[in-house]
Structures are given as C-alpha cells and as structure tokens.
Structure 1
Amino acid sequence: MPGAVGLSHLSPYDWEAADGVCGGSPHLHLVCTEAYVVTGGRGAVQTLSPDGHRDIPLEPGSVAWFTPGTVHRMVQGGDLRVTVLMQNGGLPEAGDAVLTFPPEVLADPEEYAAAAALPPGTGPEVRAAARRRRDLAVEGYLALREALLAGDSGPYREFQRAAARLVRDRVPAWRALWRAGAAAAAERTGAQLDALADGEPAYLDEATAHRAAPVRRGGYGMCGFRDEYAWPGGASPGNASPYDGD
C-alpha cells in the first residue's frame, strides 16, 4: 500500500458487554496512529487519553483517528462499517496492539499471550474465544475509564507502562519492519525528488498498477469482524497469533 499504510475493513461485534454496550475489544497501539473511515451504518469510538474520556460519533463519511497510547473501543450502533488505515503497516500484527486486560494479566507475559490468542479457524470455538477476550478487555477498560472520570489518571498511565513492558523485547523486530516498510517508502520519495531535480526520472520506467482483494473475510479482530489483506512484507492474516491487529 502507498507509504506502507495498512488497510482492513471492520464491522464491530454485536455482542453485548458487561456495561450493555455492543462492540469490540478496547486496546491501544504503542507506535502507530490509526484512522477510521466510516463507509456505512452508525456507531462510535470510545477513547481514553490524557485529555480524558471521549465518545466520538461515527457515521458515513466521517473520519476519526487516534495517536499512539490512546485506548480505543469501537462501538456498534447499527450496521457500522469502517475502513481502517493504519500507520506502519505490519507493526500492529507484530504486537503493537495491546489489549486493556486487568493489571494482573498484563503483569505476566505468558498469561497475557494466552488470554489474547485465538485458536485457528472461524468456527464456534473461535467465536467463543474472541468474545471471552473482548469481555476481559472491557473489564480492564471500564476500571480505567472509571478512574479517569474520577480525575485519577494513575491506572491509565500504569496501563500504558505495562503495555510498553510487554512489547519491549519485540522492538528490534519492529524496527526491522519499519525500516523495510514506512522508512523505506519515505526514503524512496526522497530519491525520486532527487532524480526529478537532476532531470533523470528513470524510476518512472517502473510504473505499474496493482490490485488486491481480501484473503480472509469476517475474521475475529480486536475491534470486530475483520476483512484482511496479505500485503507484500506484511504479516499474514490468521487467528493463531495473539497480535492480530484491529
């Protein structure tokens, strides 16, 4: 994709959570900004950040985006359909997304991985596991939100630190993905500008067109049912990884 941007299509889960809201699994991204482009239906995205709790309405034509460290929860309002644009394509699938599980789960990397993972496939067992994962993330999210609304940002900031500790060992692999993806895309633009300035745009001889279609439809992502693509250099779609992006 242009600029090494990741792309998927989402429809939030219609499963009711403990607070009576239907939607996905709250989580944050540590190094990626994410954008929702609404293509159909109605809903919202609930966010937690240093500026507090927000409930952002989503309707056709609206765009919402959030920067690294923002906890977000996609909420179903009726046939909501969203195209997701993700900075640093490949990094979310490599572990950049961390779910808002309770502190005791976040404190143990093995327990976190077990709670976040889904079995392969798309059958009833996978659906049940995805719902359990969502419910556990909502449990942690509601505690974070309650504290923020009461003026206490301590639990939210501790969640951010716990998420950072969970992924620290993955940073070298992420850096390699970033260098081969987003950083390389920016460098190519610089080289193309240099070529234009020199009057030698030989790179234009490589002009071509591409087409892609989803390789998996209705997979169980963090936010909801997810249509996924397999981009060159990106992570392969699949439920087996505990880090399956949004």
Structure 2
Amino acid sequence: MVSFAGPPGAVAVSHLAVYDWEAADNVCGGTPHLHLTCTEGYVVTGGRGAVQTLTASGFEQAPLAPGDLVWFTPGTIHRLVNEGDLRIVVMMQNSGLPEAGDAVLTLPPEYLTDRDTYQKAVALPPAAQEAACAQAARARRDLAISGFTALRESFLAGDREPLAAFHRAAVELVRPLAGQWRERWQAGAAAASAATGEQLDRLRAGDASHLAEAAVYARHTEPQRRFGMCGRLDVYDLEGN
C-alpha cells in the first residue's frame, strides 16, 4: 500500500508579514521572484496591499484585502506590495521544493550568469545576526526590484526577449538541482497523489480496509522565524508528522 503521512497534499504553510521597506519606486513590499515547479497561494488575513505579477500574458496588479484568496502557477513573477500591515497565510505546493531552491529572484542579467554569482547576490547571513540579515534581505530585494522593473518596462514596450532570457537563465541556475527535487517530489506530493489513487481503487472495489488504518497527527512546534523573499516568515516544519 502507498502511504503518505505528511500535511494535506504535501502543501507547505507559513505566515507572512510583508516587508514595509520602501523601494526606489516609492512602493513598500517584497522581493520579486518566480517559482519553477510550485504553485503558490495566498490567504490574506490582515492589512491591505497588492500583488504585482508578470507573465508571458502581461503585467497585472491585483489588490489584496482580508478574505482574498489568490494563487498563481510556476513561471509567474510576483511582487507583494504592502499598503498597510499586510499579513498572509502562504500555501506552497510541493512542500520541500521551495526550501530546496525552487525560486529565482529577478536580479539584473549580470547576476544570473552562473550559480555562484547568483548565490553570492542572494545569500543571507546566519539568522542569529538579525541586523545584518535584515540589511542583506533589503539589499537583495532592491536588486531584484531593479531587475523586475527593467523586465516590466521592456515587456510593456513590446520587447518580450528580456523576459524570455530571464526564464532561460532561471532554468540554467536550478538545472543541477532537478534530480534532488525529483526525489523530494516523489516522497511528498507524488506519494500523496498515489495514495489517493490507491484509495479510489479500493472504493471502486468495495474495499474499506484503508479506513481502519486512519491516524491522527499532531505536533506543537514553534515556527521558524526568518527573513523570506517577501517578508518576515513564520515557517512550520511538518516533515516527520
């Protein structure tokens, strides 16, 4: 029997307080980036703001207020805008992959030439060094906004090549990790889906045996607070549940 004891659908959950740091364009908010294999969702729980997105279909800005639910698929460049104490519950597909590097910031092209150059630009000091960590997170945010602004302006002017070039560079940066990601996906989201398929097969056969294998999982855990790409994150480690 296929078994999976992780969170529902292998979805990761975290609480996000979006940065209120003002950028060069007089907008407060987070770091523009995209995910390569993970759909991301927001449940807005407080404050107000917006999410700016850039895809091959164009640039959009969607307002965010408590009760709003927004999600977007891999390849969507997104930037959170904080217009007043914006707080969000973030749901990430494929738990484990975002933590393993399934995100690329929209840095200017000269920082995307190779993985070492990119990592030096986005790395943060140890979490214990809070002031230095905040300074580095803000610096990489501003660098990514400069790249995002250039991509958006080029796209709006009718030139799609810079966006396509960013997509190609993002793939090259993460390509060496794809094998490790597949292992994480097989143990997580793929296993969860396979378990559901087996349960459906049992239901069609009138087999109720899997219901007798029901279990409850609970854990009290303090969230890991960190400087994320979009704001201060409270991340729950659910591996092993």
Consecutive unaligned residues in structure 1, runs of 5 or more: 235-246
Percent identity for Structure 1 against Structure 2: 57
> Take 2:93 and 2:166, find their aligned partners in 1: how far apart are those partners?
22
From 36, 39, 42, the equivalent of 2:42 is 36
The Cα offsets for residues 182-240 of structure 1, whole Å up to 9 and x where unpaired, read as 11111100111122222332222232223345633541001111010112169xxxxxx
> Take 1:148 and 1:209, find their aligned partners in 2: how far apart are those partners?
50
> Take 1:158 and 1:118, find their aligned partners in 2: how far apart are those partners?
26
Structure 2 counterpart of 1:42, one-letter code: R
Q: Report the secondary structure of 2:67's partner residue.
A: coil
**CA, structure 1 residues 112+54, in 2 after alignment: closer, same or farther (shift >3 Å)?**
same
Match of 1:231 in 2: 238
The runs of 4+ residues in structure 1 deviating greater than 3 Å are 211-218
> Take 1:190 and 1:53, find their aligned partners in 2: how far apart are those partners?
38
Q: CA RMSD in A?
A: 1.5
Match of 2:33 in 1: 27
Decide whether the 8 Å contact of 1:90 with 1:233 is kept in 2.
no
Match of 1:165 in 2: 172
The TM-score normalised by the length of structure 2 is 0.93
Decide whether the 8 Å contact of 2:224 with 2:236 is kept in 1.
no
The Cα offsets for residues 142-185 of structure 1, whole Å up to 9 and x where unpaired, read as 11111111111111111011000100111111111111111111
> Take 1:172 and 1:48, find their aligned partners in 2: how far apart are those partners?
28
From 135, 140, 147, the equivalent of 2:147 is 140
Structure 1 counterpart of 2:148, one-letter code: Y
From 195, 202, 205, the equivalent of 2:202 is 195
**CA, structure 1 residues 213+36, in 2 after alignment: closer, same or farther (shift >3 Å)?**
farther
Alignment length (residue pairs): 234
Structure 1 counterpart of 2:134, one-letter code: R
Structure 1 counterpart of 2:118, one-letter code: Y
Match of 1:61 in 2: 67
Match of 1:152 in 2: 159
Match of 1:241 in 2: none
Decide whether the 8 Å contact of 2:97 with 2:181 is kept in 1.
yes
Structure 1 counterpart of 2:13, one-letter code: L
